[in-house]
Structure 1
Amino acid sequence: MLRKVCLLGIGSTLLAGCFGTHTSQAPIATTYPITEQQKMQAAHHWDVLAQHQADMLIQSDMIKSQPLYIKGADTATPFSTAFDNLLTSQLVSKGAYIKASPSQAAEVSYKVQVVEHKDRGPIRAPQGAITTLAAGIAVATIPFNHWAEPALALIPAAGAVDLFSGSWTSETNQEVVITTQVTLSDQVVYSNSSIYYINPGDFDHYKVPAKTTKTVQVNNQW
């Protein structure tokens, strides 16, 4: 019996050697390291982006000595209309030379792309959210064991929420990619992209909704 077991073990080992180890028929899914992405929810956030781009532009060696012309978007949206003015204001306040015509000037333009994910997997909750929730539940059980007034248990939990709630926000299935570029003599001398979450209801702030055509059936009957 022992001999048969040994032979079976040796045979299994030799058979396993005929195949590659740690193999798969397709790539296995893995996750990225935790990263953060901001969420645009106010016109003030557009001004923050304009300030950031203005700082980057005036620090570029190829741009800071050039007159600039800000080209508006081909199709006006609430974002493009505001961003034209905000970027102009930020650049002027930082001493940039802004021209009203493209003649003899580097052209500043930007592209806006709205991305909508239709089948996104679960996203990890904000760091500390589960711990705070667990702590609140644990604190809420104390009065039933020790305190005379159960409502007092809500005070520590509410204080924790008040302290950290400003750092929490929700991810959405819609994002916006905003790319600012500068061209000089048909050469792209500057390009910078920023990506943000946006609320689904703010879609039309960044992109004009596609016009829908209505089909009308025509026949010879009155």
Structure 2
Amino acid sequence: MSLRIWGAICLAVTLSGCFKVNTSQAPMATTWEMSEQQRMQAAHHWDVLARNEARGIMANQRLRSRPLYVFSPQPSTPFERGYHSLLESQLVQQGALVSTQPEGSVIINPMVQVVTHSDRGSIRPPPGALTFLAAGVAWAFQPLNHWSEPALALIPGAALLDVFGGNITKVGNTEVIITTRASEFDTLLYSSSNIYYINDGDSNHYESRSGLRVSSQW
């Protein structure tokens, strides 16, 4: 290597030392750790939520022996009507004293917010998805040159789909935040929030025209 090249390298290293390293004029974007979020797409899922919330309410010492009134907004959405009756039923099954009148009762008030994303960018597949896809392609082409019955290669792939197919779902653009609160005399005694993906076409189950809508589009 010539002296001229060495001199250029030394000059570049010297100049770089005059500046701070690992700096940026704006925060650099990074990703979150891998997490999971369930998709709510059946009335049975509403019942599962109601059962979990009823257990949480009854586990609260301040609510266990108090009369509870489940508030139902008017007008109400299909989810609000369904969740109201399901939560009442689950509370009764858990041994709660459920009142039909709000006077003298702790008010159970479900709240719903629909969140619609319009520009989420690219979302990478879960770890191992690309490897699994590549292995599947390789497996599918292997029998073409070595097996007398290439169609038999479809059997292992079909078996894998049967086993794991129920775990596969897409990341949608619509989510719902469901909060169940218990309050008395302007005091919050219980609050539990859950976030779910929902199908884009199901947003009308959760969102009324006069209700609050939260969007990521500003």
Same fold judged by TM-score > 0.5? yes
Q: 1:4 to 1:136 in 2, by over 3 A?
A: closer
**Paired residue type of 1:39:** R
State whether residues 69 and 101 of structure 1, in contact with CA within 8 Å, keep that contact through their aligned partners in structure 2.
yes
Is the Cα contact below 8 Å between 1:64 and 1:96 reproduced in 2?
A: yes
Letter in 1 for 2:147: W
Deviations 1:51-91 (A, max 9, x none): 01001000012211211111112431110000000000000
For the aligned residue pairs, the C-alpha RMSD in angstroms reads 2.1
Aligned structure 1 segments of 4 or more residues deviating by more than 4 angstroms: 1-8, 11-14
> Which sits farther off after the overlay, 84-93 or 132-141?
132-141
The residue that corresponds to 2:195 in the other structure is 195
Question: Who is 1:173 aligned against?
Answer: 173
Alignment-mate amino acid for residue 180 of structure 1: T
**Which of structures 1 and 2 has the larger relative contact order (alpha carbons within 8 angstroms, sep 6+)?**
2
The 1:2–1:155 alpha-carbon spacing in structure 2 relative to 1, beyond 3 Å, is: closer
TM-score relative to the length of structure 2: 0.88
Distance between the aligned counterparts of 1:46 and 1:77, measured in 2?
13
Aligned residue number for residue 152 of structure 1: 152
Q: Deviations over 1:5-51 (max 9, x none)?
A: 55983x54554343221100101110000000000010000000000
- Give the corresponding residue for 1:121: 121
Kindly tell me the number of residue pairs found equivalent between the two proteins: 209
Gaps of 5+ in 1: 211-222
Summarize the alignment of residues 30-49 of structure 1 with structure 2, pairs less than 5 Å apart.
Answer: 30-49=30-49
- Give the C-alpha shift of residue 128 in structure 1: 4.2
Q: In the TM superposition, what is the alpha-carbon distance from 1:125 to its structure 2 partner?
A: 2.1
Q: Which runs of 5+ in 2 are unaligned?
A: 211-218
Measured in 1, the distance between the counterparts of 2:95 and 2:165 equals: 39
Corresponding residue for residue 20 of structure 1 = 20
